[in-house]
Amino acid sequence: MTVAAWLIAAVAVVVAIIALAARRPSAAPPPEESVPAPEDHADSEWRLAAAVDALPGTMVIVDGDGEVVQANPAALRELPFLRTGVGVLEAFGDHMLAARVRDALASGRDDEFEVKLFVEGRRTFRVQVAPFAVEGARGAVLVLRDATQAVAYQDLRSQFVANVSHELRTPLTGLRGMLEALEDPEMPAGMRDDFVRRSRLETERLEALIDDILFLSELEAAQGVPSGERSDMGAVAREVAVELEGEAGEQGVDIALDVSAGAVTSLTDRMAHTVVRNLLENAVRYAGPGATATVRVHPAGREVLVEVQDDGLGIPEKDVPHVFERFYRADPSRSRRLGGTGLGLSIVKHIAERLGGSASITSREGFGTITTVRIPAADTPVTDVPGDAGAGSGARPRW
């Protein structure tokens, strides 16, 4: 049990003792010298009651029969269905919770566990039960903490580890098979060269996957806006278009630019480059021969709009809601063949949301795809942004 939980439980026990004592027949008073003055006793009770009311945590007190005696205001806000004078099962509607409280009351031992309750949807709570006994009167303090996000995050981490293991195993298995085959001294020279080429491609894919995983981990470890960073998204778009010109030619895809000046964000250079490259690279690789991929970068009020649109093959409707998920691929075989890691759009969304922006996608099979990223503009504009003949004019130079 944490220190905070112990403090909550300790205060609650004192209040519970007072509450339970108030329900018992009055006994003979102790010697006169030990009886506090009436005003002191009332003041003490008032202070304890005020302390319990001010507790930010969710706290419930039950008596020896497992009936709810008291709940602090935080508990009533968090669990609006709570009622005093009813049993734990009726109050919470969960058999496991009622059984664990009953066992703790019977044994007198603390207990801690997780339970799922229907509170504005199904949520996970971490419950601590602290039994107490005063002059034969038994009771228990229940402290509940909402652990829904923590449990969901743990599940996400476990799923991520499983996915990473699977993604690493696939190229490693292929590499091992090709290396074992290369040990054959009688292998024809042409086949040997092909296996060496494919092995090199697999190692490059592994390197790209590991780089993406490490970058994603860095993004999750750091919080907030990068301090003092400025990136001109228009300049980045022009750089990325040049970088991908060769691959676009191989895929039969044209690249067009529609870039305005003053599209400055607080992204680091690496983040800005990653956002634009991942978006345009997806369009180049999957739009299909004859398609045009257009990169648009414009200031839009207090945001910067980065959009990549293509008129290519499009994405099946069933896949559109999942494209920002880690390792999700609408066309797995083609993605692996082209070197995709399945993390590109997930990283883009993570970068945008870290700064308070957003990422979205619309697509229709046979009509193309539009991927839109909105990122808050930098507070202080940069005035020495390199110019471009087409910047700010709506021109769309072809690459």
Highest-confidence range of 32-41, 64-73, 356-365, by mean pLDDT?
356-365
Element (H, E) at 240: helix 233-243
pLDDT tens readout for residues 13-60: 444 544 444 444 444 444 444 445 444 555 655 665 666 666 667 888
Question: Whose CA is closest to 262, among 385, 345, 361?
Answer: 385
- What's the whole-number average pLDDT of the chain? 77
Compute the distance between CA of residue 11 and CA of residue 154 in angstroms, rounded to an integer. Answer: 32
SS3 content of the chain, % helix, strand, coil (to 5): 45, 20, 30
- Of 304, 257, 261, 241, the C-alpha closest to 391 is 261
What pLDDT was estimated at residue 88? 86
User: Looking at the predicted structure, is the pLDDT value of residue 359 above 90?
Assistant: yes
CATH architecture group of domain 229-399: 2-Layer Sandwich (3.30)
Of 25, 79, 17, 81, whose CA–CA distance to 49 is shortest?
17
User: What is the per-residue pLDDT across 194-220, written as a single tens digit (0 to 9) for each?
Assistant: 888 888 877 877 777 777 777 777 776
Nearest to 46 by CA among 85, 82, 5, 14: 14
Tell me the per-residue pLDDT of 326-338, one tens digit each, with 9 for 90 and over: 777 666 555 455 5
CB atoms within 10 A of CB 39: 8
User: What are the boundaries of each domain within the chain?
Assistant: 3-146, 149-221, 229-399
Q: Which class in CATH covers the domain with range 3-146?
A: alpha beta
CATH number corresponding to 149-221: 1.10.287.130
pLDDT grade for 354, boundaries at 50, 70 and 90: confident
| Per-residue pLDDT band at 162 (split at 50, 70, 90) | low
pTM of this structure: 0.52
